Amino acid sequence: MKPNIDPILLGKRLAEARKARGMTQEDAAAAIQCSRPTFIAIEKGVRLPKSEEIVRLADLYGRSVHELIRHNDFGKMSFELPPHFRAVAGNTAISQKDLENAIISYQKFTEDYCALEAITDTPLRKNYPPVPSFPDRRFVDDIAEIAAAQERMRLGLGEQPVHDLRNMLEVEVGLRVFYDTLPSRVAGMFSYNDEVGGVIVVNRNHPPERRRLTMMHEYGHLLRDRYKPGIDIENEQPGNKSSEERFADSFAACFLMPKTAIQRYFCNILEMTGDFQIADMIRMAHFFYVSFDALANRLSDLRYIKDGVFDYITRSGKKLRDLKPSLNLPSYNADNRPFSNRYISLAVLAYQDEKLSIGQLASFLRADKVEARNIAQEFMTGGDECLFNEITQPSDELASLLK
Can you tell me the distance from the alpha carbon of 69 to that of 71, in angstroms, rounded to the nearest whole number?
6
User: CA-to-CA distance for 106 and 81, rounded, in angstroms?
Assistant: 9
pLDDT tens string 375-388: 888 887 764 444 44
Give 41-65 pLDDT, tens digit per residue.
Answer: 999 888 888 888 888 898 888 777 7
Rounded distance between C-alpha atoms, residue 88 and residue 10, angstroms: 28
pLDDT of 347: 92
Residue 322 has pLDDT above 80, yes or no: no
Predicted TM-score of the model (pTM): 0.76
Q: How would residue 263 be classed by pLDDT, with cut points 50, 70 and 90?
A: very high
Residue 388: predicted pLDDT = 44
- The Cα 352–Cα 248 span in angstroms is 40
CATH code assigned to 95-256+339-403 = 1.10.10.2910
pLDDT on residue 87: 55
Instruction: For the chain, give the number of residues.
Output: 403
Q: What are the start and end residues of each CATH 1.10.10.2910 domain in the chain?
A: 95-256+339-403
What CATH number does the domain located at 7-72 have? 1.10.260.40
CA dihedral 33, 35, 37, 43 (to 10 degrees): 10
At CA 188, angle to CA 185 and CA 194, rounded to 5? 150
